[in-house]
Structure 1
Amino acid sequence: RPGDCFAALRHLLEDNHEPRKRQLRYIKHTIALYRDLVETGIVTRLDSPAPDGKRVELSIDLPENFALTNPLSAFAVAAFELLDPESSSFALDVVSILESTLDDPRQVLMAQRKVARDAAVAEMKADGIEYEERMARLEEITWPQPLAEEIGFAYETYKRGHPWLANTPPSPKSVLRYMLERSMTFTELISEFGLQRSEGVVLRYLTDCYRALRSGLPMTAVTEQIEDITDDLGDLIRGVDSSLIDEWETLTARA
């Protein structure tokens, strides 16, 4: 936007009815986000104001609706650069990085872990493995975590320059990716993991995935396959309950 963005942000953060303590918390958070944007190379501060008054400019190509929706959004942008765009799994890997930055849908992850452990127990019993060893091995079995090692390494590297993220690690998981790899419907996911009492949790999580796909990707990560995934996910969510997407799209249209 033209004009002095720092003055505009100061006005937004201080000229409101929030208590001063809360204002200061928002100011600190905004400064941390700005540092993230600069240090990850997303924005560059200009040596002198541009003719239209701009003090910063974008350094990479971002969609108009790009948004930093959570503390790890800038980390995700940096992590996308580590992926190989020519890889057949590129789109799914983009999804995995995005999923790792979202809040955990605990009921889903616990259900995935239970299914994985039940299958492992049956296999170990068939192999004649003793009870104590079975229990020890089960501790190592959790929900699917694609790219966990790569995401963890990227985060540790990124954290060195962004110490304020030390308490906000990514959380690798595979809910949307799991569905995509198996061409699953919402109903099939619910049925496979016995999530009938947690449908709302699943739907909200998938909506978070949709929002991240729509507004959290740099153009370098947006491929035709990603666009198809986004469109199909939007259709899936609308087929279950359109209100979550409709409300979000109304809000973003006003922004």
Structure 2
Amino acid sequence: MPAKKPVAAKGSDGPKPPPSGRVVALRVAVGWLAVVVLGAGMAVGVVSRSTVATAAGFVLGLLLAALVASAAIIMSGRVWLLFPAFLITCLYIASVSVTSAGYLAVHGTRFTATAVSSECHRVKGGHACTARLRRPDGTMLDDALSVAGRMDAGQTIDVVEDPAGIVATHPADELDPGALTVGAILLGAAAFLLAGLFALAAWLGLRKPLPKFQTGRNRTGRTNRRPHRPAR
């Protein structure tokens, strides 16, 4: 009888072909777009008027930076990309925050508010004070405003409010209109660096893969062992 050829086992651990350049480029583009969109949303949460959104923005921003670093390491196989990936992502999130503050300084509504009440509490390194403020039309600001020191009832302060209600209200003396230009430049630079980082990681993974260590296994998957010789 003719010998039957061995049937290849299903689910074998054979080497998989590397992804094509088009697939890698698509992954890089999708990853970059996801980082840009999610990073912008998280940074807006950091400067939001909601305390919960601010805390969530900080936590999710750090998580996003860790995910970007992990993706760069997986694509390239290089651990040294961890630090630049984390640093560039944090720079991008911070630049969105600076841009939001500059936007508020340029396009926000400025008015003189009157203090209704104020309180201070001790924090590490000093005191933190907040004040409840009333608009010129008599309506109250939704949230207490952080101020430099305790304010007496009836004392006034110039503030800037976001007409869209997204960015938190700030004292006018804390805002700089030039921050909009600086933030936009940093934002563009950070987005460009992120794209370059993903492209570098993909290029290192495809064109300059790390050398593989010899595993001592032959093509059949069996470990080559020397025959045992009895001691004389």
Structure (1/2) with the larger helix percentage: 1
Structure (1/2) with the larger strand percentage: 2
TM-score bucket (shorter structure)? under 0.3
Give the alignment's TM-score, normalised by structure 2.
0.26
Greater CA radius of gyration, 1 or 2? Answer: 2
